[in-house]
Amino acid sequence: MKKAAVFSTGTAMMLVSALMAAQGAMAQEKEPVVVGVISNLSGPESKLGTEAVGLAELYVEHINAKGGVDGRKFELVVGDNENNPDKFISLGKRFMQQRNVMGFTGTAGSGEMLAFEKAVKNTSVPICLSYTMGNKNVGPDLPSVFRIGPYNGQVAKLMANYLQKKEWKNVVVLAERSAFGTDFADALQALGNDDFKVDVVSYDPQAVDLSPMLVPVARQEVQPDAVVVVGYGPAIYTSAARIREAGIKSQIIGTWEFPEMPEFWSAAGDAGVGIMYSTFGISEATLTAGGKEFRKLFTDKFGREPVFYDYNEWDCLTAFTKAVEKTGSIDRETVSKAFGDLTFEGTSGEISFKQDPAPGAWNSSKAGTMFMLQMGKSGLPKGEIVEEIR
C-alpha cells in the first residue's frame, strides 16, 4: 500500500511560495503589447516624425511605470518611412512578421499612409491616425483604421465658413498634387457656389518654385481675394515670396503651421508678414485629469507645451491600452474590433469612433477647435490668433 505524502509546515510554505513565484513568472511572461510607430524621420517632415517618436517613448515609460497593460509590458518598434510608400509598406509588414506588432500609430503623409493601409488591410491590424488628414484615409473599406483629430473635409468646411465670413468671394488654391493637397482642394472647391468661387492651381510635390504657376493668376483681370497654399513639399516655404514677386497682393493663407518654421522665414523675409494660417487647438478648460497629467509629463520632458496633435497621439496610444484591457488580448483582429466599441475619457473629452459617412469622418473622433492665426511681423515663431472657428 502506498503511503500518503506528508509535508511539514515549512515544506508546505516553501511549496506555496514556489507556486506563487511560478505564477508571477507566468504573468510576467505574457507577450508584450507592441505598437509600431512609422513616421517620416528624415527630410522636410522629420520634425513631426521625430516628435511623434519621442512622445510615444514617453507614453511607454509612463504606462510601464504603472505596471503595463493587463500584466503586459508596452513596447515600441520605430521605423523611418523616408516619405516613401514602398518603404512604409516594407517596414510595416516586417514589423508585424518579426516583432509581432499589434497596431500602428504616428504621423505620416496621407499618401504613404493610405498606401500602407491598403497593403495591410487583410491583416485587420488596427491603425490609429493622430495627424494624417486625408479624407480617404478612413472609410467603410478600411474598417481597421481609426482617427483622432482633424481631417480635410472638416478643415475645408471650416475654412470655407471663414472665407465667406470675410466676404472673400474669389479664392485660388495652390494645391500640391498629393493625397493631402488634392484632397483638401477638392473638398474646398466642392463647397463653392455663385457667391464663393474656388479655382485650383495644382503643382508637383517636388516643385521648389511656384513662379510659373502664378503667372496666369497674376494676369487675371481681378485678383483673388485670397490665395490658399496647401502642401508639405519645399514649395510651401518659398510660396509667400513668389506670390508677392508675381505682383499678387491677395491675402495668403496656409493650411497648417508651416509659417512657424525657420525655413519659411529664411525664404519669405518681409513677404511673409501678414500671412494667415489655420491650426487646431485644445482649450485648457476642456482638459481632463488625464489631459492635465499628460501636459505636465510632456512639458517636463520636452520643455514646451503640447500642441493638438500631441494630445491626439497620446489618446491614440491610450486607445490601444483600453482595447487590450477590454479584451485581454493582443490579437490584431480582436483589438481592432474592440476599437470600434471603445468609449473612454481622453485628454480633452470623451473618445469614441462613430461610423459617420461624411467624407473623412468614418471612425473619426475629436478634432479640437480651429483657429486662424496671422504673422504681424517677420520672423515670429507663432502668429496671433485672429479668429476661432467651430
Report d(CA 154, CA 177) in Å as an integer. 20
* Whether the predicted model's global pTM rises above the 0.75 cut: yes
Please name every residue paired with 75 in a beta bridge, in sequence order, or none if there are none: 34
Report d(CA 264, CA 365) in Å as an integer. 31
pLDDT score, position 44: 62
**Helix 152-165 × helix 179-190 angle, to 10°:** 50
Fill in the DSSP letter of residue 4.
P
Alpha-carbon dihedral sign for residues 313, 145, 156, 42? positive
Domains and CATH numbers, the chain: 33-148+284-347 (3.40.50.2300), 153-281+371-389 (3.40.50.2300)
pLDDT score, position 8: 39
Mean pLDDT by 10 residues, the chain (390 residues): 38 43 55 94 80 96 96 96 91 96 91 94 96 94 96 93 95 94 94 93 94 95 96 93 97 94 92 95 88 97 92 97 97 96 95 92 86 94 91
Fill in the DSSP letter of residue 146.
E
Cβ neighbourhood burial of 5 (10 Å; 0-12, 13-18, 19+): exposed
pLDDT score, position 27: 45
Strand 127-129 and strand 145-148: pairing? parallel
pLDDT score, position 45: 65
Collapsing DSSP states into helix, strand and coil, what is residue 54?
Answer: helix
Question: Grid coordinates in use for 284?
Answer: 485648457
Report d(CA 274, CA 374) in Å as an integer. 6
Report d(CA 317, CA 351) in Å as an integer. 12
Report d(CA 137, CA 145) in Å as an integer. 8
Query: Which parts of the chain fold into alpha helices (H)?
Result: 9-28, 46-65, 85-99, 110-119, 152-165, 179-190, 211-218, 235-245, 262-268, 289-302, 308-327, 332-341
**171 CA to centre of own chain:** 27
Q: Which long-range contacts (CB under 8 A, 24 or more apart) does 134-139 make?
A: 134/110, 134/179, 134/180, 134/183, 134/360, 135/183, 135/187, 135/359, 135/360, 136/110, 136/179, 136/183, 136/360, 137/110, 137/113, 137/179, 137/360, 138/360, 138/361, 138/362, 138/363, 138/364, 139/362
Please name every residue paired with 352 in a beta bridge, in sequence order, or none if there are none: 343
Report d(CA 306, CA 298) in Å as an integer. 7
Report d(CA 144, CA 127) in Å as an integer. 6
Report d(CA 231, CA 368) in Å as an integer. 22
